[in-house]
Amino acid sequence: MAWFLYLLECSDGSVYTGIATDVQARFDKHVSGVGARYTRSRKPVRVLVSFELADRSSASRAEYWVKRLSPVDKRALGAGLRTLESVMPVPEPVATGETQEETDGS
């Protein structure tokens, strides 16, 4: 099942970041006041952007990194001036399992 990372523009100019399987349904919940506590006092105005991810784990990982961005960087992400990949850390190379001794022949 696909999950989405989404950014909402709120009435006070802030940007809210969340994850959901149905962005429109989640936006409607935020607007009606039964979404996150943050959006109850800062009513959402519109969805800035949403990104489809493979699963909840991927969406949660992306949310973790996006929430650490400044509001300016979140807006740049929403405007397409930054990519989601540019926000995420570069993955570590996968070890082959060989040690230096094994490759030296020692």
pLDDT, tens digit, 9 for 90 and up, residues 3-12: 999 999 999 9
Superfamily of domain 3-84: GIY-YIG endonuclease (3.40.1440.10)
When the pLDDT of each residue in the chain is averaged and rounded to a whole number, the result is: 90
In this structure, of 19-23, 36-40, 66-70, 102-106, the range with the lowest mean pLDDT score is 102-106
Chain segment 53-86, per-residue pLDDT in tens: 999 999 999 999 999 999 999 999 999 999 999 9
For residues 46 and 9, the answer to whether their CB atoms sit within 8 Å is yes
pLDDT at residue 106 is higher than 60: no
Which pTM value belongs to this model? 0.83
Angstrom CA distances, 41 to 19, 52, 86, stand at 19, 27, 31
CA–CA separation, 14 vs 88, rounded Å?
21
Please answer whether residues 41 and 81 qualify as being in contact, where contact means their C-beta atoms are separated by less than 8 angstroms.
no
Domain limits, the chain: 3-84
